């Protein structure tokens, strides 16, 4: 069965067709990660400062029969996003018991990668590659509790390819020091998947306030950081595990690394050669 589009995506795609009051309502829903849409129609109208007919019209423009139908979709979307890890460990159907975990995991990851690439906006990919290839820009990278390894992996490669790349410390207490160096010539690359981390959202907002732009890697439901991000990549992350998989995200990361290195082929080759010479001269990696 074909999957119904996410409400978050519909709200963004239909922006050009919305009236001013409908855009205000859409902004309230997006800013609150759709949770405000679980209120009664009267309460939602009050919080968005619109009329109840405006809510009904927006629901119909998004392809729903009315507000109850829209609210059902929002409820499903929020429930999927907030699903507890233990719920993901619920036993499968009896027919699946004979399948080995490796087979099921590989199948899930392959599906995640394929669906992520199907939804990938290649124009957006190229714009981000342009940003990352601009050696006049300072790049700052950071991930959350689970995605810290993705940020570290991306940093390791970019730092070899080009200058002015830094990996932010995992402790929020030292982030203000990094913010001091962020301006219009800075890009903050953030990784944030469910359970979205409020501290990362605060950092993104402060970085934008400093003039920096934000590139976000997130899951299919979309981190609240999207409201601050100039560029966003959504990847599928669900697998038969209590943990989400970031392999689809890393496919995008590795593709960006390859493209950035291609664009900076001359300077990156010189940089890598200089690095090899330093390693040789320092004898750090040689036995005495």
pLDDT bucket at 247, cuts 50 / 70 / 90 = very high
pLDDT at 251 over 60: yes
pLDDT in tens, 234-243: 999 988 888 8
- Assigned token pair, 175: 């982030």
Q: Would you state the pLDDT for residue 99?
A: 73
Give the mean pLDDT of the chain: 86
pLDDT attached to residue 252: 95
Q: 86 falls in which pLDDT band (50, 70, 90)?
A: very low
Q: Is 188 helix (H, G, I), strand (E, B) or coil?
A: strand
To the nearest whole percent, how much of the chain has pLDDT over 70? 88
Model confidence band, residue 128 (pLDDT cutoffs 50, 70, 90): very high
* pLDDT exceeds 50 at position 230: yes
**Are the beta carbons of 238 and 108 closer than 8 angstroms?**
yes
Q: Which string of DSSP letters, residue by residue, matches 55-97?
A: HHHHHHHTT-SSHHHHHHHHHHHHHHHT--GGGGGS---GGGG
d(CA 246, CA 208): 26
**What is the CATH T-level fold of the domain 7-81, as seen in this structure?**
Arc Repressor Mutant, subunit A (1.10.10)
pLDDT over 70 at 60, yes or no: yes
What's the pLDDT at 107? 86
Count Cβ atoms below 10 Å from residue 34 Cβ, excluding itself: 23
In this predicted model, what pLDDT tens digit does every residue of 140-173 receive, in sequence order? 999 999 899 999 999 999 999 999 999 999 899 9
If one compares 270 and 191, the residue with the highest pLDDT of the two is 191
- CA-to-CA separations, 96 to 85, 90, 100, in angstroms, rounded: 20, 12, 9
The mean pLDDT value for 204-214 works out to: 96
Mean pLDDT in residue range 54-80: 88
Q: What is the pLDDT of residue 95?
A: 47
Distances (CA, A) of 104 to 111, 242, 245: 11, 14, 13
Contact 231, 215 (CB under 8 A): yes
- Tens digit of pLDDT for each residue in 11-50? 888 888 899 889 889 888 887 678 788 888 888 899 889 9
Task: Write down the pLDDT at residue 14.
Answer: 87
Decide: residue 144, CB within 10 A, 0-12 exposed, 13-18 middle, 19+ buried: buried
**Residue ranges per structural domain of the chain:** 7-81, 114-280
pLDDT at 94 over 70: no
pTM for the predicted model, two decimal places:
0.68
Return the higher-pLDDT residue of 268 and 192.
Answer: 192
Q: Is the pLDDT of residue 93 over 60?
A: no
> Which token pair is 112?
């995640």
What is the pLDDT at residue 5? Answer: 82
Architecture category of domain 114-280 in CATH: 3-Layer(aba) Sandwich (3.40)
pLDDT band at 270 (very low <50, low <70, confident <90, very high): confident
pLDDT band at residue 87 using 50, 70 and 90 as cut-offs: very low
């Amino acid at each position: 069965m074909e999957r119904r589009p996410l409400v978050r995506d519909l709200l963004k795609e239909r922006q050009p067709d919305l009236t001013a009051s409908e855009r205000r309502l859409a902004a309230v829903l997006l800013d609150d990660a759709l949770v405000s849409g679980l209120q009664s129609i009267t309460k939602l109208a009050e919080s968005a400062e619109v009329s109840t007919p405006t809510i009904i019209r927006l629901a119909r423009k998004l392809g729903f029969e009315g507000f109850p139908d829209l609210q059902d979709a929002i409820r499903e979307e929020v429930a999927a996003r907030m699903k507890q890890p233990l719920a993901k460990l619920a036993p499968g159907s009896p027919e699946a018991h004979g399948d080995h975990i490796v087979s099921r995991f590989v199948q899930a990851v392959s599906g995640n990668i394929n669906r992520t690439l199907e939804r990938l906006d290649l124009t957006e990919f190229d714009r981000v590659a342009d940003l990352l290839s601009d050696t006049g820009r300072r790049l700052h990278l950071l991930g959350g509790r689970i995605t810290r390894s993705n940020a570290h992996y991306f940093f390791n490669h970019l730092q070899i390819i080009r200058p002015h790349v830094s990996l932010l410390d995992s402790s929020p207490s030292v982030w203000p020091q990094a913010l001091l160096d962020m301006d219009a010539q800075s890009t903050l690359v953030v990784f944030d998947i469910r359970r979205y981390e409020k501290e990362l959202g605060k950092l993104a907002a402060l970085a934008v306030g400093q003039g920096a732009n934000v590139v976000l890697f997130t899951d299919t439901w979309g981190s609240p950081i999207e409201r601050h991000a100039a560029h966003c990549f959504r990847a599928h992350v669900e697998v038969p595990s209590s943990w989400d998989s970031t392999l689809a995200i890393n496919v995008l990361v590795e593709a960006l690394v390859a493209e950035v290195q291609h664009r900076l082929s001359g300077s990156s080759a010189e940089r890598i050669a200089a690095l090899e010479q330093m390693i040789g001269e320092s004898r750090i990696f040689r036995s005495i």
